[in-house]
Amino acid sequence: MGLNDSPGAMRNGRGLSDQWAESVVVRPRTTERHITVHKRLVLGFALSILTLIIVTAVAVVLSLRFEECGGQDRDGATGETGPRGSGGSARLNGSRGERTGDRGDEEALHPWRNSRLPGTVRPRHYDLRLAVYMDNFTFSGEVSIELECVNATRFIVDRVSVTAEAGAGGRSANRPGGGAIRVHRHFPFPANQMYVVVLHRELKPMRVYRLNMSFDAAIEDELLGFFRSSYTLQRERRYLAVTQFSPIHARKAFPCFDEPVYKATFSLTLRHDPQYTSLANMPVESSSLSDEDGWVTNRFARTPRMSTYYLAWAVCNFTYKETQTNSGVTIRLYARPDAVASGAGDYALDITRRLLGFYQDYFKVQYSLPKLDLLAVPKHPYAAMENWGLSVFVEQKILLDAEVSSSSYQMELTMVVVHEICHQWFGDLVTPVWWEDVWLKEGFAHFFEYVGTDFLFPKWNMEKQRFLTDVLHEVMLLDGLSSSHPISQEVEQATDIDRVFDWIAYKKGAALIRMLANVMGQPLFQKGLNVSSCAQYSHFNFSWKTFSFPYKHHFNLKFVQMMDRWTLQMGYPVITISKNQSEQLPTHYITVSQEHFLYGQEVRRNNSLQWQVPLTVAVGNASAVCLESLIWINNKTEFHGIGQMGDNTWLLGNINQTGYFRVNYDLQNWKLLIHCWICFHLRSDSLAGLIDDAFNLARAGYLPQGVPLQLIGYLPEETSFLPWHAASRALYQLDKLLDRTEEYRLFSDYVLKQVASRYHQMGWPTNGAHPEGNVLQASYQTEELQRELIMLACSFGNKQCHRQAVAYISDWISSNKNRIPPNIRDIVYCTGVSLMDEDVWEFIWMKFHSSNAVSEKKILLEALTCSDNTFLLNRLLNLSLTSDLVPEQDVIDVIIHVGRNPQGRNLAWRYFREKWDVLNARYGEALFMNSKLISGVTEFLNTERELNELKEFIQSSGVGAGPALPRALEIVEGNVRWHRLHQRQFYQWLRKPPGPALG
């Protein structure tokens, strides 16, 4: 799953009165939703819980003797808070020592002011009963939470009657020591998303209590908590309701200890109209029909111990297909009836069955539940959510129509499924203690997207190929900014939690795990996971420190120290390698130095950061690679023996780019590497790494601008996909900077010159059926290279490419038969819309509404953003936000793609600013969405005027966007700086004939 918010200020003044707390007003944008507590509960709870913020953490203050518990209460006892609803605590910090009340300790006197739960009580089991009313989109519920008192306290969770049950000593509820505990008073504390309940009696250590609550709430038309969605079947609008609780939104739906460390079991009962089906984490244990109203009541089996944010349920009228693993696990895919009937879910169902077996073998731990449901919903804030036993996917990431879906779409869908199935172990079975370690579960799942996909389709070679361009190169762009952050971040406030879910956690986490796996070797890495994670910490929480890979002690210590540097420091180093120039050392020594890589020269002030770097180095000449070795770099500058070297010997660092760092060389070595592109026998991943490093080193000012351009001068002779893919990504980055400059034609002509020969040689794909009718059986690398070349040719203005695209569109319109090969439809649609008239735009718009294939709808929608007609672009922007014609999760993509269009850039930028309040209200709480929108709209800005507009916008409207806006500001500042410092040199190199000199 996966982004940000700025930390909220905590009130830390002394003596926040209870009277003030009772009258506190909920902030306009809160995390929780409306829940009304029934009057039949203790003290009649008159307050309507405006948001479920309030409902997760309840503090209980005891001021009278608790004679039923068989103990004498001491005078002046104060106690501790109970569970709240904000992000959870990694430590249990309540104690009996807080009972003295004379220390003036703010947390002891007013524990609800602490943003983390105190841990004096903890949940053991939830019995949750819900009635769901789909006719008016409301639900009512009752929850009974079995609590264990850890330390004597006056505070527990939530509100309502608290009943003492059998404790550690075996006392029953109806014997002395049991019975109801009277509620003295209660009040909300929205600042920390808590609800405080004051009791008349004290809870005793090692005793078990039961907290009972009732509530009513709306099934909101939003993307978090328990929300509703809809679809059309045979012109009839149908509705469904589904949960999305990660990271801190279970509190929107029911009162709970909404922190990952508070694992408990759950028994769920759902009552609803019989025309609907209900799903949950576990199978239905019993089902009954009411004689009074005919409604169905489904009681689901008790779950294993798990965190609240993995609880899930849905009420829908979907149908399903199912399969079964060899070990007897039932897998079902639920979706719209027409999608199931068309077979759109068959592919995901099949690979899920295979993946469960793969992960069981890899982790040496069986899948823990009797079933796994995959639910395809029309609306969802994320690609998918790995709820244990009920994983939820947005339709675009799980439904596949083999006749119209491209191999790229299929690859992306595959990796989403692989990611979520991995979470059934890393995340569901073992869960991070606290949100600062979220990179562990997300980093592992992101890394295993490539490992698991390689298991399914070895010929794709994903971990060795696409990981570099799609993970490593992408996240290093972000992590090279001074606004980046360590992968492990401290999280205290609920508003801090969203910011740990970003690409640094996901992609840098995956890159560091990949680096670790390569240093250790895959067999030892896999053995380490078996020993230290799933097997040992099943149904428990873990942190980075719980990993203990099977090494000798001294090496294990070295490994821990190395990883601490990478996880606790932001950014990464650039390693500079050069042949020894000192007369005091022999010629087989090299000099290696490290410094913090940053794109802005003026921010390279912090030279104190150092890493322990596993550097692989190859030495070779025009005929062969002579030597490869691993060197550990610990200091700023080091000298290492590497073997005999001559004037024509080249050095290459970070072989196959397994390390998370960039490598630079002296200009003479760059020259040798460039001219040895063909002659040295290195794998394509090393070439891809060399290309990415060269372009980014030049962008940051470490290299002359001509070096990367001269490097890719050999691309026409390259036959492998990966170097082309790395080069195209770098060229598109440059295109963002240059597409509105006066001399842009120099750049586009240079790109077309590199592309022309290979493009004409590869040609266009045919529309014939693939073997066995499945794109997976085709040569993936060949198809992807062909697609890459066509995209470059059409994007930069190749006339033949344009003519072919227009011919395809014209044939489609005239015949009403789409003969465009699926793998290039997005390129053809976009090119046709940009070159042809308004009628073509209307034709694509019509096809977008009539298509039932989710992959086809997505590329048709994005093609509409390619028009040069600003009237049509403005119309599309307004329709996407103000009507239900565009799926809610696709609105952001529409705005971003309009911004990518040079003709729509100013339009999208203005629209974004004008509609910010609406967009922020709709997407502000959804991880990634706001950040994706901000970065997508601003990354193309590169003029002084646009920079000033961004600064003004941040100053006037930047509240609530977390680190996304500061990061956007740094990127735009970098764009403007590049124009000021490097644009002239860049175009000078393009104007002069290529020569032997670099720069």
pLDDT value at 379 more than 70: yes
Q: Where are the alpha helices (DSSP H) in 9-105?
A: 18-22
Instruction: Return all residues near 519 (Cβ < 8 A) that are at least 6 apart.
Output: 614
How many whole angstroms from its chain centre is CA 976? Answer: 29
Which of 812, 837, 865 corresponds to the end of one domain? 865
pLDDT at 207: 87
pLDDT at residue 95 tops 80: no
- pLDDT score at 559: 64
pLDDT value of residue 993:
61
Amino acid in the structure at residue 24: V
| Structural domain ending residue among the three candidates 537, 553, 570 | 570
Q: Where are the beta strands (DSSP E) in 621-666?
A: 625-633, 637-641, 650-653, 662-665
Q: What SS3 class is residue 613?
A: strand
617 & 731 share domain: no
Residue 322 lies in a domain: no
Q: Is 528 strand, coil or helix?
A: helix
Query: Do 875 and 804 fall within a single domain?
Result: no
pLDDT above 90: residue 350: yes
pLDDT at 105 over 60: no
Residue 23 or residue 232, greater confidence? 232
Please report whether residue 874 resides in a domain: yes
How far, in Å, CA of 843 to CA of 143, rounded?
53
Question: 593, 602, 661: which is closest to 482 by C-alpha?
Answer: 602
Q: Tell me how far apart the 2 most distant CA atoms of the chain are, in Å.
A: 97
Amino acid at 361: D
Average pLDDT over residues 753-762: 95
For the chain, give the percent of residues with pLDDT over 90: 51
CA distances from 420 to 347, 348, 355 (A): 15, 12, 10
Domain boundary, last residue among 537, 570, 603: 570
Whether residues 458 and 548 share a domain: the answer is yes
Q: What is the 3-state secondary structure (H, E, C) of 120-168?
A: CEEEEEEEEEEEEECCCCEEEEEEEEEEEECCCECCCCCCCCEEEECCC
Lowest-confidence segment of 80-89, 815-824, 952-961 by average pLDDT? 80-89
Alpha-carbon distance of 771 to 777, in angstroms, equals 6
> How far is Cα 370 from Cα 538, in angstroms, rounded to an integer?
16
Q: Which helix (H) or strand (E) holds 847?
A: helix 838-850
Integer Cα distance of 996 and 999 in angstroms: 10
pLDDT at position 997 over 80: no
User: For residue 875, is it within any domain?
Assistant: yes
229 falls within a domain: no
Query: Any residues with CB less than 8 A from the CB of 551 and at least 6 apart, and which?
Result: 524, 559
pLDDT at residue 15 is higher than 80: no
Average pLDDT estimate for 864-880:
95
The number of CA neighbours under 13 Å toward the Cβ of 839 is 4
Choose among 563, 555, 599: nearest CA to 488: 563
pLDDT one-digit tens code per residue, 202-257: 778 888 888 888 889 999 888 889 999 999 888 889 999 999 999 889 988 998 99
CA distances to 143, 149, 202, 256 from 180, rounded to whole Å, are 16, 16, 12, 20
In this structure, the answer to whether residues 958 and 894 fall within a common structural domain is: yes
Structure tokens at 884: 């239900």
> Percentage of residues in the chain with pLDDT exceeding 70?
78
Q: In the beta sheet, which residues pair with residue 321?
A: 333
Q: Is the pLDDT of residue 853 over 60?
A: yes
- Yes or no: say if 456 and 351 are a contact pair by the CB < 8 Å rule: yes
Q: What single DSSP character describes residue 943?
A: S
CATH of the domain at 632: 2.60.40.1910
Task: Note the pLDDT of residue 448.
Answer: 94
Q: What is the pLDDT of residue 821?
A: 94
Half-sphere exposure of 130 (CA within 13 A, CB side): 28
Q: Is the peptide bond before 550 cis (omega within 30 degrees of 0)?
A: no
Over 232-289, what HEC string results? EECCEEEEEEEEECCCCCHHHCCCCCCCCCCCEEEEEEEEECCCCEEEECCCEEEEEE
According to DSSP, the residues that pair with 491 across neighbouring strands are: none
User: Which stretches within 324-387 are classed as H helix?
Assistant: 337-341, 346-363
Measuring CA to CA, which residue among 603, 619, 624 is closest to residue 655?
619
In which band, very low, low, confident or very high, does the pLDDT at 44 lie, cut at 50, 70 and 90? very low
Which residues form the domain of 953? Answer: 867-993
Contact criterion met (CB below 8 Å) for 860 and 844:
yes
Q: 824 with 861, same domain?
A: yes
Residue 167: its pLDDT value, please?
Answer: 37
Is residue 978 domain-resident? yes
Nearest one of 376, 407, 406 to 394, comparing CA atoms: 376
pLDDT band at 676; cut points 50, 70, 90 = confident
Do 435 and 495 have their domain in common? yes
149 and 204 in contact (C-beta within 8 Å)? yes
Task: Please tell me which residue, 889 or 486, carries the higher pLDDT value.
Answer: 486
DSSP helix, strand, coil percent of the chain (3-state; round to 5): 40, 20, 40
Whether 909 and 963 share a structural domain? yes
**Per-residue pLDDT at 181:** 76
CA distance 249 to 24: 21
For residues 380-398, give the mean pLDDT: 94
- Position 604 confidence tier, pLDDT thresholds 50, 70, 90: low
Same domain as 915, residue 848: no
> Three-state DSSP class for 940?
coil
Residues 792 and 803 in one domain: no
pLDDT recorded at residue 554:
43
Element (H, E) at 393: strand 390-394
Q: CB of 156 within 8 A of CB of 197? A: yes
554 and 479 in a common domain: yes
Task: Give the active site residues.
Answer: 420
Contact by Cβ (8 Å): 820, 860: no
Q: Is the pLDDT of residue 556 over 60?
A: no
Mean of the pLDDT values across residues 415-429? 93
Q: Which residue has the tokens 């070159």?
A: 835
How big is the chain, counted in residues?
A: 999
Q: State whether 499 and 583 are in the same domain.
A: no
Say if residues 121 and 150 touch (Cβ distance below 8 Å). yes
pLDDT in tens, 726-751: 999 999 999 999 999 999 999 999 99
Compute the distance between CA of residue 289 and CA of residue 277 in angstroms, rounded to an integer.
13
Distance, in Å, from the CA atom of 981 to the CA atom of 958, rounded to the nearest integer, reads: 29
* Residue labelled with tokens 């079964």: 324
- Cβ proximity of 935 and 896 under 8 Å: no
**Residue 93: predicted pLDDT:** 29
- Report the pLDDT value the prediction gives residue 114, as an integer from 0 to 100: 78
Residue 770 lies in a domain: no
| Coil, helix or strand at residue 836 | coil
Residue 356, pLDDT > 80, answer yes
Tokens of 512: 């560091």
Kindly report the CATH number assigned to the domain that includes residue 466.
Answer: 1.10.390.10
More confident residue, 33 or 222: 222
Task: Report strand pairing: 637-641 vs 589-596.
Answer: antiparallel
Write the burial class of residue 361 (CB in 10 Å: 0-12 exposed, 13-18 middle, 19+ buried): exposed
Give the mean pLDDT of the chain.
80
Question: Total domain count for the chain?
Answer: 5
* Rounded distance between C-alpha atoms, residue 728 and residue 722, angstroms: 10
Q: Which residues are annotated as a binding site for Zn(2+)?
A: 419, 423, 442
Residues 689-740 pLDDT 10s: 999 999 999 999 999 999 999 999 889 988 899 999 999 999 999 999 999 9
Q: Which of 189-193, 490-494, 786-790, 961-965 has the highest mean pLDDT?
A: 786-790
* Residue 912 counted as domain residue: yes
What is the layout of strands, in order, in the sheet containing 277-280?
A: 225-233, 236-244, 313-316, 277-280
Low-confidence winner among 242-256, 303-317, 671-685 (lowest mean pLDDT)? 671-685
The CA-atom distances, in angstroms, between 680 and each of 651, 683, 781, 996 are: 11, 9, 22, 19
Interval 253-271 mean pLDDT? 93
- Greater confidence (728 vs 84) lies with 728
Whether residue 805 is found in the same domain as residue 816: yes
> Taking the CA of residue 713 as centre, how many other CA atoms within 13 Å lie in the half-sphere pointing to its CB?
18
Task: Mention every residue, 6+ apart, whose C-beta is less than 8 A from residue 69.
Answer: 164, 177, 201, 202, 204, 207
Query: Contact, 375 vs 392, CB < 8 A?
Result: yes
pLDDT single digits (tens) 138-197: 999 999 999 888 876 655 544 333 444 433 333 333 333 456 777 777 777 777 777 777
What tokens does 796 get? 């930069």
Going by C-beta distance under 8 Å and a sequence separation of 6 or more, which residues neighbour residue 695? 708, 730, 733, 734
Is 880 within the bounds of a domain? yes
Evaluate whether 235 touches 260 at the Cβ level (below 8 Å). no
Residue 73 has pLDDT above 50, yes or no: no
